[in-house]
Amino acid sequence: MKGWFIEAAMSSLTTTSETTYPADIDNRGDDPRERPLLVLRDMDFGDVTRTVTRIALTPPPLAWYICFGISLAFLCLLFFTIGYLLTTGVGVWGNNQPVGWAFDIVNFVFWVGIGHAGTLISAILFLLRQNWRTSINRFAEAMTIFAVMCAAIFPGLHVGRAWLAYWLAPVPNQMGMWPQFRSPLLWDVFAVGTYATVSLLFWYIGMIPDLATLRDKASTKLKQIIYGLFALGWTGSSRHWHRYERAYLLLAALATPLVLSVHSVVSFDFATAQLPGWHTTIFPPYFVAGAVFGGFAMVITLAIPARQFFGLRDIITLRHLDNMAKVMLSMGLVVGYSYGMEWFTAFYSGVKVEKFAFLNRALGPYRWAFYLMMFCNVVAPQLLWSRRLRHNLFVLFCVAMCVNVGMWFERFVIIVISLTRDFLPSSWGHYVPTWVDLGMFAGSFGLFFTMFLLFCRFLPMIAMAELKTVMPQAHAHAEKHPTSRDLHRFDYQPDEHGGVSKAKGTRF
């Protein structure tokens, strides 16, 4: 559907220089003796700079304007629905008694979860020395920031009187009133607030050297001044790089437990309640796995069209997509296991209402949502076991779209279905979203894609400086044969001594 459209439209809309772009190079080999190249077609440092800066410094392809127009229209819808809600009241949502948390919280959890893949790629894969992350980390981090922006809208409005949302913060006030620190909802405020701040810092810090590249490549005075201001006067000094790398490592080490904590805290909102279907200890790891799963699906959804439109197929290579597909598949297995374990726990507990909560998911009035979730999150990703299907970008894109849909429905199943039927049948209810619910949800995609397209257009979409470090030319060939000291270095690369020795006899 959409994937087909993009494949078909790509050829006619991609107007960036090469009209007859050569076919993808397959670098997905599994031979461990060969280190696969992460930047293809013998690009040198200058080629990487040119390829990436061209996107930000020259007018975008026609497809960008079309996508931007559509996104902007949805963003207007978001503003309109927010304005309508603020002037009328939260009653315009379909939330009711007993379903006090509905689309708003579903969307919040969905968007926060999307963000997690960005942090996983930028922090955890960095600590694990997964060099392939350098091609995709910048826009995955951007995705994190924009997803958290979308997420923040919903609880902010959900408080009812959005202009009093600052009461969530511990601000001394004339009422002598403080937040209730023993509530998971307040932990959420701190977790998401810290997460947004740290993600933004991580993203910006990583971008400083690349903003300096844009400053130095920009041709107009205005661009030089604007990029120059944000580049903070970066000159690539090695003394600066030393502290910069240390700061980046520290941020990665701090962001890793942070990202795990954020979705754990989000899951506490549910797990500490006594509602059947929510009150379970499996929630923190289950939510984190789900978040990474959904987030990787979104990264793939964005990467496949972006690499085509912006001519980045030699930088975001087939190998990168293959790796992401594998991560998505493994996370999907964890999610599938969690679904099974939830059912087992409910039945093993012997608690009547717990058992009912799960039977109600599969047999109740919202069973279509449950089966849709199961199909999208558990069945569809299994296609990726097959190398042939995984290597087919159209199939991969469709599976990623399935997971995007499935992860939204997972939150719907957990939140809405559990709330509609809890303990007493006399207080059971039903939930139907209103047009404002649907409009706001669609509008949040408008915000996300508007921000993302602006990012692609004006900021360095690929972490150039980082990408250059994983290219073979970046390694000095000081000695022909590795010494024992080399082999014990954590960053030792088997091929780093392969080149011609130019600086013989010098130890670094």
Partner 1 sequence: MSVEVENKPLKQQALREPVLAGLIAEFSDVDSVLLAAVRVREEGYSRWDVHTPFPVHGMDHAMGIRSTLLPWLVLIAGCCGLSLGLWLQWYANVFDYPFYISGKPLVSLPAWIPVCFELTILFAALTAVFGMLGLNQLPRLYNPLFTSNRFRRVTDDRFFVVIDASDPLFDQQKTEEMLLGLGASAVEWVQEISNV
Residue 273 beta carbon to partner 1: minimum distance, rounded to whole angstroms: 11
Q: Rounded CA gap, 310 and 324, in Å?
A: 20
Q: Tell whether residue 473 is a contact of partner 1 (CB under 8 A).
A: yes
Residue 223 beta carbon to partner 1: minimum distance, rounded to whole angstroms: 13
Q: Tell whether residue 181 is a contact of partner 1 (CB under 8 A).
A: yes
Give the torsion sign (CA, 73, 74, 76, 77): positive
Are 112 and 265 within 8 A, CB to CB? no
Return the residue of 57, 149, 165, 186 that touches partner 1, per CB under 8 A. Answer: 186
Q: Rounded CA gap, 30 and 507, in Å?
A: 33
| 3 state SS of 366 | coil
Residue closer to partner 1 by CB (options 259, 304) is 259
Tell me which residues in 22-61 interact with partner 1 (CB under 8 A). 44-46, 49
Return the residue of 152, 476, 479, 482 that touches partner 1, per CB under 8 A. Answer: 476
Look up residue 336 and give its amino acid. G
Give the torsion sign (CA, 299, 301, 303, 304): positive
Residue 285 beta carbon to partner 1: minimum distance, rounded to whole angstroms: 16
Residue 190 beta carbon to partner 1: minimum distance, rounded to whole angstroms: 4
Q: Tell whether residue 246 is a contact of partner 1 (CB under 8 A).
A: yes
Q: Tell whether residue 221 is a contact of partner 1 (CB under 8 A).
A: no
Q: Tell whether residue 167 is a contact of partner 1 (CB under 8 A).
A: no
Q: Tell whether residue 498 is a contact of partner 1 (CB under 8 A).
A: no
Residue 389 beta carbon to partner 1: minimum distance, rounded to whole angstroms: 37
Q: Report the half-sphere exposure of 159 (CA within 13 A, side-chain side).
A: 15
| Binding range to partner 1, per CB under 8 A, among 1-9, 20-28, 182-190, 317-325 | 182-190
399 closest CA partner among 316, 319, 293: 293
| Binding range to partner 1, per CB under 8 A, among 1-9, 228-236, 335-343, 380-388 | 228-236
Return the residue of 216, 343, 367, 457 that touches partner 1, per CB under 8 A. Answer: 216
Are 109 and 266 within 8 A, CB to CB? yes
b/e map 240-259, b = 16+ CB within 10 Å: eeeebeeebeebbeebbebb
DSSP states along 142-184: HHHHHHHHHHHHHHHHHTSSGGGGGGGS----TT-----TTSH
Residue closer to partner 1 by CB (options 231, 325) is 231
441 closest CA partner among 396, 400, 411, 421: 411
Q: Tell whether residue 321 is a contact of partner 1 (CB under 8 A).
A: no
- Could you tell me which residues come within 8 angstroms of residue 301 by beta carbon, excluding any fewer than 6 positions away? 397, 400, 401, 404
187 closest CA partner among 271, 114, 107, 111: 271
Q: Tell whether residue 242 is a contact of partner 1 (CB under 8 A).
A: yes
Q: Tell whether residue 274 is a contact of partner 1 (CB under 8 A).
A: no
Residue closer to partner 1 by CB (options 186, 454) is 186
Counting residues that bind partner 1 (by CB under 8 A) gives 75
Residue closer to partner 1 by CB (options 204, 428) is 204
Return the residue of 244, 358, 452, 455 that touches partner 1, per CB under 8 A. Answer: 244
Return the residue of 29, 69, 100, 257 that touches partner 1, per CB under 8 A. Answer: 257
Under the phi-then-psi rule, with left for phi > 0, alpha for psi from -120 to 50, and beta for the rest, what region is 234?
A: beta
Residue closer to partner 1 by CB (options 146, 268) is 268
Look up residue 379 and give its amino acid. V
| 3 state SS of 428 | coil
Return the residue of 58, 237, 386, 483 that touches partner 1, per CB under 8 A. Answer: 237
| Binding range to partner 1, per CB under 8 A, among 244-252, 286-294, 369-377, 426-434 | 244-252
